[in-house]
Structure 1
Amino acid sequence: MQTAKKMFTMRSAITALIALIIMIVAAVMYDGQVSGSGFWRGIIIANFSRSILGVSAWFGDNYGFGIIVFTVLIRLLILPLMVYQTGSMRKMQEIAPELKKLQQKYSSRDPETMQAMQAAQKKLYKDAGVNPFASFIPLIVQMPILIALYTAIRTTNVLETGTFFWVQLGERDSYFILPILAALFTFASSYLVMMGQPEKNGMTTSMTYIMPIMIFFFAISVPSALSLYWVISNAFQVAQTWTIQNPFEIRRERESKKEAERAKQRAIRKAIRNHKR
């Protein structure tokens, strides 16, 4: 199991490197002008825009396909971060019942009890090999990348002139197809994650249903270029969740561990009975 995880992590890192090279090549090959000033808009956003337009040029200046391919490249670029984040989150989910027991045990809010609970939590984290803040690091790193992609699509005026099947990329989707797809993929990804959790809670359940509604209303109020980005990004998220956070596989692994623990306890009880005889 550990070997398979290491191989997957290595493959995701290689894939991310290839995606980065393709993005750089697309930006370098684009011979048009992209305006912008300052470090953020003049360098970061401008090069994102150049890369999107460069990819679009490979498809005959089809900006819809350019946005799709570039969005996939971005998701592949941050895939190693997502793999790490998913692993950290899964470890936290597995010890969530134990954390809940500690909170119930040390329910008093006096300083002495709080210190005892913090010490017990630190021991639990150490024994489980969990860093409670590790899952936030990839999120902090990837957010500027996703914001840059979003801003590049929103501020690259030439994208507004493109069409993609039934939509004008600079206008809203009058048929609401892209917003509906974005909402559905958001729900599918969140629901798969929720299925894999050892315990359900009100916050997770409510956000599983609230986020798709929010994405839908966002998507109907912005140009179709951004709606298309959300559709592809969220569809990739579904595939990613199914691959590295498959709830059915997680449930099987969790049940196997429980069965192994039950078998261990049965063996202990049997040994004690035999010893008494």
Structure 2
Amino acid sequence: MIVLLMALTGCAANGQPITAETEGVWNHFFVYPLSWLLISVAELLNGSFGLSIIVVTIVIRFFLLPLMVKQQKSSRAMQALKPEMEALQKKYKQGEKRDPKEQQNMQKELMALYRDKGVNPMAGCLPLFIQLPVMMAFYFAIMRTEVIALHSFLWFDLGQPDPLYLLPVIAGITTFFQVKMTSFQLQDQMKIIMYIMPVMIVVAGVTLPSALSLYWVVGNVFMIIQTYFIVVRFEQLKLKTEISK
């Protein structure tokens, strides 16, 4: 996620304006349709591109919601297998180096475990691979739609960084809470993401156009609400059920 953010920041700086004549499969079938959608929605909202970004962001998030649900189901299935997976790892642990044959045996037992439990370890990755192109295309659509930069929304110009730095800070805070809500699913060494990502978002937000910070804030708020009902609420109900038993 961090590498992707850095790459997008660099690419956006050199991105050419997107139009119907822009060549390339990525531009023609991914970026331009979302740029057209932003412009069309803005026309329906009295020319407000700020409201258009909010509406289209929410629509896209709802569109991706079934994929998020599927991804969470896969994560829960893998979490349920965690004790048995750790037992296998402990069984075949041999100091810093593991014999190749022992490694193969462990992999075979892992595959057998997945098969017996009906779990596909790659099932959680597929929704992510579908989501990323859509979110990347929307990012570039915002950055490369020239007309957006000519408008303002609330206290800021969409084509310039927020002069009060409020949007980048809010984007950073909401990113922190979004990651924290699912931090129990992360391995201990990965929990540093919870602190690195908000900093990256704030740094990017103070240099990039406010249109992008607005998109991050709206997307994060949606994800926080979504995560509460799909992840947090589910865990709370699961805990209550276990206590009642």
The DSSP-based 3-state class of the residue aligned with 1:78 is helix
Quote the residue 2:110 is aligned against: 121
CA distance in 2 between partners of 1:255 and 1:103 (Å)? 31
Could you tell me which runs of 5 or more consecutive residues in structure 2 were left unpaired when the two chains were aligned: 1-18
Quote the residue 1:218 is aligned against: 204
Could you tell me which runs of 5 or more consecutive residues in structure 1 were left unpaired when the two chains were aligned: 1-32, 261-277
Matched, 1:69 2:58: no
AA aligned opposite 1:54: S
Q: Root-mean-square deviation (CA), in Å?
A: 2.0
CA deviation vs aligned residue, 1:163-198 (integer Å, no higher than 9, x gap) = 110100000012111111111111111111124x4x
The DSSP-based 3-state class of the residue aligned with 2:93 is coil
Residue 249 (structure 1) shift: 3.5
CA distance in 2 between partners of 1:54 and 1:66 (Å)? 8
Quote the residue 1:137 is aligned against: 126
CA distance in 2 between partners of 1:169 and 1:157 (Å)? 11
AA aligned opposite 2:195: Y
CA distance in 1 between partners of 2:40 and 2:76 (Å)? 38
Q: Which of the numbers 160, 167, 171 marks the counterpart of 1:178?
A: 167
C-alpha spacing 1:101/1:46, structure 2 compared with 1 (3 Å): same
Q: Which of the numbers 23, 28, 44 marks the counterpart of 1:42?
A: 28
- Asked if the contact 2:168/2:201 (under 8 Å) is kept, the reply is yes
- Mapping of residues 5-44 of structure 1, within 5 Å: 34-44=20-30
Residue 252 (structure 1) shift: 4.6
CA distance in 1 between partners of 2:84 and 2:149 (Å)? 52
Residue 102 (structure 1) shift: 1.2
- Mapping of residues 253-268 of structure 1, within 5 Å: 253-254=238-239, 256-257=241-242
Residue 202 (structure 1) shift: 2.4
Quote the residue 2:145 is aligned against: 156
CA deviation vs aligned residue, 1:228-275 (integer Å, no higher than 9, x gap) = 1111111111111011111x5415525745885xxxxxxxxxxxxxxx
- Asked if the contact 1:35/1:46 (under 8 Å) is kept, the reply is no
CA distance in 2 between partners of 1:233 and 1:221 (Å)? 19
CA deviation vs aligned residue, 1:56-95 (integer Å, no higher than 9, x gap) = 1111000000000001111111111111111111211222
- Asked if the contact 2:61/2:222 (under 8 Å) is kept, the reply is yes
The DSSP-based 3-state class of the residue aligned with 1:245 is helix
- Asked if the contact 2:174/2:217 (under 8 Å) is kept, the reply is yes
AA aligned opposite 1:157: E
- Asked if the contact 2:173/2:198 (under 8 Å) is kept, the reply is yes
Quote the residue 1:26 is aligned against: none
Q: Which of the numbers 72, 80, 87 marks the counterpart of 1:86?
A: 72
Residue 110 (structure 1) shift: 1.2
Residue 111 (structure 1) shift: 2.7
- Asked if the contact 1:91/1:130 (under 8 Å) is kept, the reply is yes
CA distance in 2 between partners of 1:130 and 1:255 (Å)? 25
CA distance in 2 between partners of 1:221 and 1:79 (Å)? 30
AA aligned opposite 1:185: T
- Asked if the contact 1:34/1:49 (under 8 Å) is kept, the reply is no
C-alpha spacing 1:35/1:176, structure 2 compared with 1 (3 Å): farther
Matched, 1:230 2:216: yes
Matched, 1:206 2:192: yes
C-alpha spacing 1:101/1:256, structure 2 compared with 1 (3 Å): farther
Larger Rg: 1
**Worse overlay, 33-42 or 153-162:** 33-42
